[in-house]
Amino acid sequence: MYRLGGAGLAGALAALVVGCGGGGSSPAAPARTVPPGGGFKPGNVTFGVLAPLETARGQEVRQGAELAAADLDVRGGVLGQRVKIVAEDDGCTAGGGEAAALKLRAVAAGVVGGVCEDAAKAAARAMDGVPLLITSANAPGVVSAKRTPTAYLTNGTPYQSALAAVHWLAYSRAQKLAVLTDDDRASAALGKEVLGLSAPVPKPVSEQVVEDVDVSVKATLAAKPDTVYWAGAPARGGELLAALRDAGFDGTFVASAASESPEFIAAAGAAADGAYVIAPASPQNLPEAADFTARFKAKFGREPGSDALQAYEGVRALAQAVTQSGKVEPERNATELTQLDPSFETLLGGELAFASDHTVKYDNNLVLRVDGTAFVVENTLRSDG
């Protein structure tokens, strides 16, 4: 969803593109455009990966980048040269992030990665002059136009998650909203964002921190909401939904991204059917990503997650910026990154563009609906057409 504040909500709703598809045009299995074993100019165009490489998520970032490089090479590389991926371990620390960034800054035309907030923030400040796409961490404070002029987030922020939820609630004609959260900082913050963005429609009528499910259900139903939003853990959310249905609640139940989990469905049982979850696009919920998923699994022997897809599209975006520049010149490439040709689309939802604060302009949140034991795409929430 586009980054709009309260006054812009009605206008954005008017422009909302409602559909049941996923992201943008899927890069199909690439057709070979260079002869096997030849046809490239000497040298490489190098892109970097910055991640905690000893972790599963760090490996996924690297593998997503490597698949992008392989796909680009099948299409002829970048500027006629092969694409090379160089990875540096940031150790998930600020010091490690800075050290890794300085190494990559010396050799890379652009960098993707940044799983851990502290490492990503330090890397973004050290990478000045070289484009850095932070593809996993999503705290808005990681980047800024002043302190990180060539670093950008490609993952939606918590604010955008809340905004996506409120857009869906308004589109669904919710009138009276109850917001329930876990007793932890992230859940509470998301709940507060949803409450702040939702008024005056839907009207917030109840706010509960769930410690005892039965107590929270009684308090929630006393407020007579037609919609309940859950911003906490999946198992507790499923338990809450089942209890609400048992108590007679027949309204709409909407949950945050954490509930895109088998734990939610298992805990809710039959009550899960028809519930909604607002979650970022991923290989698991994007039909358009089926070909990407098959290629990733064939190359690495396992299913890709969101980190892999974000890194894959990040490398593709950096390659597009270099192609538009006509040469490897990091500062020029960084400029082109902010004005990618409209024909360049990603699996994550069409155009890749950035807001003035260097967060992603159009996030990749989707509305998922529980159908039996599966999550299916109900709405793409894209307003950029």
Helix (H) or strand (E) holding 179: strand 176-181
pTM of the model: 0.85
Instruction: Examine domains 23-156+286-363 and 159-280+367-379 and report if their fold is the same.
Output: yes
- Output the six-digit token pair for 127: 């990478």
- Output the six-digit token pair for 199: 């008024």
pLDDT for the residue 382: 62
In angstroms, rounded to a whole number, what is the distance separating the alpha carbons of residues 381 and 164?
Answer: 7
42-59 tens-digit pLDDT: 999 999 999 999 999 999
- Output the six-digit token pair for 8: 């812009």
pLDDT for the residue 40: 86
pLDDT for the residue 107: 96
Residue bearing tokens 């990665």:
113
CATH 3.30.360.10 is the classification of domain 159-280+367-379: no
Question: Do the beta carbons of residue 285 and residue 279 sit within 8 Å?
Answer: yes
DSSP 256: -
Domain edges within the chain: 23-156+286-363, 159-280+367-379
CATH says 23-156+286-363 is which class? alpha beta
Q: Which residues of the chain have pLDDT under 50?
A: 1-26, 28-36, 384-385
CA 300, 83, 149: angle at the middle one, nearest 5?
A: 105
In sequence order, which residues have a C-beta less than 8 Å from that of residue 264 and are 6 or more positions away? 234, 235, 237, 238, 255, 272, 275, 277
Q: DSSP labels for 96-148?
A: HHHHHHHHHHTT-SEEEE--SHHHHHHHHHHTTTS-EEE-S---GGG--TTT-
